[in-house]
């Protein structure tokens, strides 16, 4: 089996019928499976409750889903990179999303919600930062914490905590709230906008915020 195709050859063969088309699809599926397995190897902590055979089957499912996505989006490929590099991204995104979803299956969002809100802003090492920057960092953190407590609704606090602070996948939050992606996305957007306005009303511009946290990157 040869998968040494040019970009144009990939597009031509995948759009072909018969033996050439079938061979290209099988070659692409094999490449996407390798990408999925690679992604899972980097996410073993999220898949701790799954054995090798189950992980391989999950990778097969991700490769199949990625294959469908690639075929559906062939028209969007512009040739700005290798076709295989472009296709890999579909498998990696789908695999990482599945791994994150598996990580949160055994976690109760209610237990996370009951914990006190923690503002997990990047910490600045005092030994590598000047006092003024450290002070500004702390001041912005206090303002954000105050805005979360006083300016946000319960739903806004929940979405912010789960998605931003706890890094729970959007789909898991959507299911927990018995909602849909558009509604939750809008809720998160409104929440971020409200916090941004609070900072700006107190005189904190975006340049100051970037400068305050640059040392923590």
pLDDT one-digit tens code per residue, 152-185: 888 888 888 888 777 777 887 888 888 898 999 9
Residue 213: which residues within 8 A CB-CB, separation 6 or more? 121, 122, 124, 137
| Calpha distance 31→63 (Å, rounded) | 8
Instruction: Set out the domains of the chain in order of their start, with CATH numbers.
Output: 7-105 (1.10.1740), 111-214 (1.10.10.10)
Q: What are the tokens at 165?
A: 């602070």
- Check if the beta carbon of residue 34 is closer than 8 Å to that of residue 73: no
pLDDT level of residue 215 (50, 70, 90 thresholds): very low
Please write the tens of the pLDDT for every residue from 65-100. Answer: 999 999 999 999 998 999 999 999 999 999 988 888
| Calpha distance 200→100 (Å, rounded) | 34
Least confident of 42-56, 132-146, 164-178, 189-203: 132-146
| Calpha distance 61→58 (Å, rounded) | 5
Give SS3 for 92: helix
User: Is residue 119 scored above 50 in pLDDT?
Assistant: no
Residue-wise burial string across 172-195, b where 16 or more C-beta atoms lie within 10 A, e elsewhere: bbbebbeeeeeebeebbeebeebb
Q: In this structure, is the dihedral angle defined by the CA atoms of residues 173, 179, 182 and 183, taken in order, positive or negative?
A: negative
């Amino acid at each position: 089996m040869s998968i040494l195709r040019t970009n144009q050859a990939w597009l031509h063969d995948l759009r072909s019928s018969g033996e050439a088309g079938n061979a290209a699809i099988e070659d692409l599926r094999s490449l996407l499976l390798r990408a999925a397995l690679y992604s899972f190897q980097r996410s073993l902590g999220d898949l701790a409750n799954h054995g090798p055979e189950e992980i391989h089957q999950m990778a097969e499912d991700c490769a199949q889903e990625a294959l469908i996505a690639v075929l559906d989006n062939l028209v969007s490929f512009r040739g700005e990179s290798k076709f295989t590099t472009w296709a890999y991204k579909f498998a990696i995104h789908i695999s990482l999303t599945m791994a994150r979803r598996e990580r949160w299956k055994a976690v109760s969002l209610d237990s996370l919600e009951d914990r006190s809100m923690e503002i997990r802003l990047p910490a600045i090492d005092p030994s590598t930062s000047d006092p003024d920057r450290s002070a500004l960092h702390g001041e912005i953190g206090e303002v954000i914490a105050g805005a979360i407590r006083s300016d946000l609704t319960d739903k806004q606090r929940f979405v912010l905590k789960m998605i931003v602070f706890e890094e729970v996948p959007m789909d898991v939050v959507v299911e927990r709230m018995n909602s849909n992606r558009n509604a939750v996305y809008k809720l998160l957007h409104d929440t971020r906008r409200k916090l941004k306005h609070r900072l700006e009303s107190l005189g904190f511009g975006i340049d100051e915020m970037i400068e305050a946290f640059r040392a923590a990157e």
